[in-house]
A = this chain, B = another copy of it.
Amino acid sequence: MARTETSARPCADQAQPYDVFAKACPSRSTLEHITGRWGSLTLGALSENTLRFNELRRRVDGVSEKMLSQTLHALERDGLVHREAAATNPPRVDYRLTPLGHAVAERLLALIDLVEERMPEVLAAREAYDARGGR
């Protein structure tokens, strides 16, 4: 509707300033941080609680130290996650969502919940697809 089929590619016009469909638009990289393999799960985990680094690692099953660290940096840079370090010994660092992060996570969780709910349909579709030999 709003998004016109003939919109200019370079991502900037007055009606729709940021268009994720345009290759060069910064909104695309942001969306990728959010929906990426680890980004989505990290945001989902933090939507429930403030968590520490290793708590997150356990919650997001299968994430490596390196990827979690990298993911958190990207989300922090985009203003979705806030990092709070206490200079104690042993060190304690808490990660929590910013207001913007919460808004994003809310929509993301709506999607995740839907996917989880509808998995039986997805699995049935996969079986049917495979049964007829991938066509």
Q: Say if the beta carbon of A1 comes within 8 Å of chain B.
A: yes
A5 to B49, CA, bound (A): 10
Contacts of A34 in B (CB 8 A): 111, 115
Q: How many copies does the complex hold?
A: 2
Pick from B16, B21, B49: contact of A45, CB below 8 A: B21
Residue numbers in B under 8 Å from A110 (CB-CB): 107, 110
Q: Select from chain B the residue with minimum beta-carbon distance to A79.
A: B125
Q: A31-B40, A31-B112, A115-B104 are in contact. Are A79 and B20 (CB under 8 A)?
A: no
Q: Which of A35, A78, A130 has the most CB of B within 10 A?
A: A35
Interface positions of A from 58 to 97, Cβ below 8 Å from B: 59-62, 73, 76-80
Binding site for B on A (CB under 8 A): 1, 3, 5, 9, 16-23, 26-27, 30-32, 34-37, 40-41, 44-45, 48-49, 59-62, 73, 76-80, 100, 103-104, 107-108, 110-112, 114-116, 118-119, 121-126, 128-130, 134
